Amino acid sequence: MKRELDNLVTQMHSSGIPYDEAVREFKKQYLREVLMAHGGNQCKAAEELGMHRNTLSRTMAELGLDLAEVRAGLKRPPRSERPVFGAIRQGYR
């Protein structure tokens, strides 16, 4: 994992990404990952991160991280877009 992070930092530096933007993107992606791991539950995510829920909420607002966007990634697709397993099962009978 350290090697992957080193490569990412090297790429960001060579691309000319400023430090503050790199830190901002890291924070945003890290918070999104933790929130998704907890199904969008801010209380559980904040506990894992070792911060108060209000601090997490404020940080999300500062980073432009929308909780609805995180939760949308967790929802099941509509029935019309789900695979039909019943038809597959009937073929094996």
Report how far residue 22's alpha carbon sits from residue 28's, in angstroms, rounded to the nearest whole number.
Answer: 10
Place of tokens 């911060």: 51
48 pLDDT band, cuts 50/70/90, is very high
Residue 73 has pLDDT above 60, yes or no: yes
Report how far residue 13's alpha carbon sits from residue 55's, in angstroms, rounded to the nearest whole number.
Answer: 29
**What's the predicted TM-score (pTM) here?**
0.72
Residue 38 has pLDDT above 90, yes or no: yes
pLDDT tens per residue, range 16-27: 999 999 999 999
Find the mean pLDDT for residues 47-53. Answer: 97
Residue 69: C-alpha distances to residues 35, 66, 76 (Å): 11, 5, 14
Measured at the CA of 33, the angle between CA 28 and CA 38, to 5 degrees, comes to 125
Looking at residue 88, its pLDDT comes to 56
Count of helix runs (H) and strand runs (E) in the chain: 6, 0
Find the mean pLDDT for residues 78-82. Answer: 69
Helix%, strand%, coil% for the chain, nearest 5 = 70, 0, 30
Looking at residue 91, its pLDDT comes to 56
Q: Which domains does the chain have, with CATH numbers?
A: 2-74 (1.10.10)
